[in-house]
Amino acid sequence: MFRPSSDAYTPRIERKDIKFKAAENRTPVQHMSSPMGTLQRPNFRDALRRVAMILHQHIVKIESRFEQQGGGGGQCSSNSSRSDHPQKKSATTDDGLFHASMRDIFNEDCYRTPTYKCHMARIPMARPGMVYGLRKVQVMYRIPSETEIYDFAQQLFQSVQLSSECSIVCLIYVERLMEIAKVPLLACTWRPIFMCALLLASKVWQDLSSWNIEFSSVYPQFSLESINKLELNFLRNVKWDLYISSSSYAKYYFALRSLVEKQDFRQRYNRMVGGVGNVAQAEALKVQERTEQVKEKALLQLSRSM
């Protein structure tokens, strides 16, 4: 049975008596604040990072699940594109939680505009002309990192000016599609599903919603006709159920807010924010060294003047 994030990451209240605390012994409100913002206006960068962490967790678990059941047939991004080995479509068995047939419906190859590589041949000819050949470029799919998922969505947030609540609504729609239609979130399906969920979140949540052509301009690999087809498939598989109750939204919000309380998620979140182990950390260390040098020079000049 599929377990949504609102249930998996919501902190549990233990059965124990809550003791009364005097006002001076209670935790100050300043220490209870969260970088995620408030329920009415969440911080979109922080909320989007947490959504990216959950989507990455889904992709890793479902990829490993398909690989164990189908002998590697479920992971369409490990070695080559799905179109290179069409006989592997039936290698993955349906276990009741996710269907392999739904993977083919939301596969990125069905919506991405194909690219071709042109080869020119120099052949002596009696009349002017040229001989050339076109070869379709196969896309290599692999499991994305949390930063790649975050950058994919942040580009859309900055270009289309989506509201901060759309990231939470998007997660609700993605997991609703996974639960109702048993659609697996894989390396070759997460981009179309994530993009379409953001599109529907914008249309449902915002007063001035985004147009499909705007999403096509941000992601030129998806044409307008492909986005329209993807939106229709998404709506059909969720049975046109886009209603979100206030309690459901609040559950997801507080589940995302308490996400970093788990040790493994906290370390991954700190890597995304602080840039540990990448270029951002190196640049931060350079800035720290320059500021220390400037501080030492200022103190030296101050001591000489005195």
Residue 119 in any domain: the answer is no
pTM (whole model) above 0.85 = no
Give the chain's radius of gyration (CA, Å): 25
Residue 260 in any domain: the answer is yes
Position 285 scores a pLDDT of: 58
Residue 11 in any domain: the answer is no
Q: How confident is the model at residue 13 (pLDDT cuts 50, 70, 90)?
A: low
Query: Which whole-number Å values give the CA distances from 241 to 193, 200, 228, 238, 262, in the listed order?
Result: 16, 11, 18, 6, 32
Concatenated DSSP letters of 56-87? HHHHHHHHHHHHHHHTT-S-TTSSS-GGG-GG
The arithmetic mean of pLDDT across residues 97-124, rounded, is 80
Residue 23 in any domain: the answer is no
- The DSSP bridge pattern shows strands 116-121 and 131-136 to be antiparallel
Question: Which residue has 């947490």 as its token pair?
Answer: 50
Over the stretch 53-76, which tens digit does the pLDDT of each residue have?
Answer: 889 988 998 888 888 776 444 446
Residue 108: partners with Cβ closer than 8 Å, 6 or more residues away: 139, 141, 188, 189, 191, 192
Question: Which residue has 């003791």 as its token pair?
Answer: 19
Is the pLDDT score of 80 beyond 50?
A: no
Q: How confident is the model at residue 276 (pLDDT cuts 50, 70, 90)?
A: very low
CATH for 246? 1.10.472.10
Please tell me whether residue 133 adopts helix, strand or coil conformation: strand
The arithmetic mean of pLDDT across residues 152-161, rounded, is 84
DSSP 239: T
Mean pLDDT of the chain: 75
Residue 9 in any domain: the answer is no
Over the stretch 111-151, which tens digit does the pLDDT of each residue have?
Answer: 888 777 877 777 766 566 677 777 777 778 888 888 899 98
d(CA 168, CA 174): 10
Residue 280 in any domain: the answer is no
| Percentage of the residues of the chain whose pLDDT score is greater than 70 | 65
Residue 269 in any domain: the answer is yes
Position 159 scores a pLDDT of: 83
Residue 175 in any domain: the answer is yes
Q: How many domains does the chain have?
A: 1
DSSP 11: P
Structural domain boundaries, residue 184: 41-114+143-274
With 0-12 / 13-18 / 19 or more C-beta atoms within 10 angstroms meaning exposed / middle / buried, residue 63 is buried
Higher-confidence position of 256 and 4? 256
Residue 197: how many other CB atoms lie within 10 Å: 25
